[in-house]
Amino acid sequence: MHAPSLPDRTIDAYADVTRSDRLERLRSLADTLADSRILHVNSTATGGGVAELLRSIIPLCNDLGVDTDWLVMDADDEFFEVTKAMHNALQGSGPPLTEEMKATYRTVNEENAIELEDEAEYDLVVIHDPQPLGMLDHLEAAMPTTAIVWRCHIDLTDPSSEYLAFVSEYTARVDHAIFSRSGYVGDTAVPETSIVYPSIDPITEKNRALDAETVATERNRLDPLSFEDPLVTQVSRFDPWKDQFGTLEAYRRASADVPDLQLALVGGMAGDDPEGLELYEQVAEEAAADPNVHVLTDLPDSGVNVLQRESDVVVQKSLREGFGLVVSEALWKRTPVVGSNVGGIPLQIVDGETGYLVGPDDAAAAGERVVDLLEDDDRRAKFGRNAREHVRERFLLPRQLVELLDVLADELD
């Protein structure tokens, strides 16, 4: 296990974007937890939504006086191939689950859990996603008084029953499980559950307002992409559920009406996702023939910020999506989003008000909605204003933190 380095955060920095009663509630919950030691465990320090959330939540909890650590599992590709299969199968399709895969999963989890024995005693451990759940086998014996909360970030609308049964062997033994939507609990064996929507952090380099000089620098760096011509962007890990091929199809449909349209497909590789490189290569190959399609990897957060801010429309054509931080990231920057009506996306896109929802298999409809928005500057501006307010109230970090600390305080009561 290793501890990622973290930025500084102070709760005062959120005063401008948070109702005062919410801030007071946060401080009072933090007081309740002041004598507790809390640990969050996940499987990657970089890339992807879970790392994005923890990078803000952990320092903010500490600023509030709640002693909170974050440790990331150490594992090799063999383990991550098993857990990526698990992730895919829990979202809807994956290979058969073999005894060998289960053995790899258990061994790596045990090795990581043993390392925890040398760490200080925790009152509560939050396990993020299925990868570290197997640590329970060891933790139950080594830390018998520690409360365990499972935080599930994935879309469990239609999971493979074989994998769900395997994961349920563990989830049945945690004290509490948190899901991102009520529809995800389904047949998962869990003692008690809460629903907490994820959130974006408005003060990070990715989401904060940028001065004109930074915008100009990032725009130059993105050359030959032009900000003078219409631009559609999707920001996603290279993962089959993000459906970059569907986004390409939607772009082609839209280009028939808007010939100078450009598409930016921005993606990164998460440390726990061995599929990413292969998918990136397939997407890049398919995009290579069209000079108006730009497949961009490893952009700095300020570059992602500029693209989400300066694109005319953002697309999120996922086939499954636990929540989809990228949707709120774009909406917060007043950019309307055309997204699939799956998982957490419809919580964020109010159809006809902050963007448009389309069926996950309907790339043509996505393309048509992009055209509708590109052809109407006033509608884009109006949706952008609505989008900012929608996210301000519902999907910023202080709201999520209140709900998370509420669950943790209950468990430690």
Q: How far is the CB of 292 from ligand UPG (least distance, A)?
A: 19
Q: How far is the CB of 141 from ligand UPG (least distance, A)?
A: 30
DSSP code string of 127-185: EESSGGGGGHHHHHHHSTT-EEEEE--S--SS--HHHHHHHHHHHTTSSEEEESSGGG-
* Rounded Cα–Cα distance for residues 209 and 110 (Å): 44
Binding interface with ligand UPG (CB under 6 A)? 48-50, 52-53, 153-154, 180, 198, 206, 235-237, 266-268, 299, 304, 321-326, 329, 344
User: At residue 319, what are phi and psi to the nearest 5 degrees?
Assistant: -95, -30
Alpha carbon dihedral 397, 399, 400, 405, in 10-degree steps, equals 120
Cα distances from 3 to residues 46, 65, 107, 306, 361, in angstroms, run 12, 19, 21, 30, 40
Q: How far is the CB of 340 from ligand UPG (least distance, A)?
A: 12
Rg from Cα positions in the chain: 21
Does the CA dihedral 321-325-328-330 come out positive or negative? negative
> 3-state DSSP helix/strand/coil percent for the chain, to nearest 5?
50, 15, 35
Q: Which is nearer to ligand UPG, 253 or 317 (CB)?
A: 317
Q: Which is nearer to ligand UPG, 52 or 411 (CB)?
A: 52
Burial of 260 (0-12, 13-18, 19+ CB in 10 A): exposed
Record the tokens describing residue 176, joined without a space.
């509490």
Residues 310/272, Cβ–Cβ less than 8 Å: no
Which residue is nearest to ligand UPG, using beta carbons? 49
Q: How far is the CB of 349 from ligand UPG (least distance, A)?
A: 13
Q: Which is nearer to ligand UPG, 137 or 403 (CB)?
A: 403
Q: Which is nearer to ligand UPG, 38 or 235 (CB)?
A: 235
Q: How far is the CB of 280 from ligand UPG (least distance, A)?
A: 10
Q: How far is the CB of 173 from ligand UPG (least distance, A)?
A: 22
| DSSP 8-state secondary structure symbol assigned to residue 186 | T
Q: Which is nearer to ligand UPG, 251 or 323 (CB)?
A: 323
Q: Which is nearer to ligand UPG, 324 or 398 (CB)?
A: 324
Q: How far is the CB of 324 from ligand UPG (least distance, A)?
A: 5
Q: Which is nearer to ligand UPG, 107 or 182 (CB)?
A: 182
Which residues on neighbouring strands pair with residue 262, listed in sequence order? 231
